[in-house]
Every structure is written in structure tokens, then in C-alpha cells.
Amino acid sequence: MVKDGKVEKRFIKTGWIDEQHTEVIKGLKEGEIIATKFKAPVKTKVFR
């Protein structure tokens, strides 16, 4: 997660995972910015 311009390590719980998607079921809130090791842009969606 990125907080105040700095990367903060946080543990998350994942659910469904495939080659292009990872469902985060615990540890992130809507609107938070994440940092990843991926080179391609990361798109996020919130499903309720």
C-alpha cells in the first residue's frame, strides 16, 4: 500500500486467483493505492 507517498507493507488475504486477477478479501479498503512488482498497469475494481 502507498500511504503519504511511501510504500507500507501490509498483509492481505486473497480469495479467487487466476492468470489475470487476484481477489483481495481482507486487508485493503476501497480507494487505497497499492504498489506492485508488475510492469504493466494494474487495474482495480471493487465488487460488492
pTM listed for this prediction: 0.59
pLDDT given for residue 39 in this prediction: 67
Q: How many domains does the chain have?
A: 1
In a domain, residue 13? The reply is yes
5-9, 38-42, 44-48: which is most confident: 5-9
Q: Give the structural domain span for 28.
A: 1-42
Query: What percentage of the chain exceeds 70 in pLDDT?
Result: 81
In a domain, residue 48? The reply is no
Q: What is the dihedral of CA 26, 17, 9, 36, to 10 degrees?
A: -140
- Cα→Cα distances 38→6, 8, 15, 16, 48, Å: 18, 17, 19, 19, 26
DSSP 33: B
**Which residues lie below 8 Å from residue 15, measured CB to CB, with a gap of 6+?**
23, 24, 25
In a domain, residue 47? The reply is no
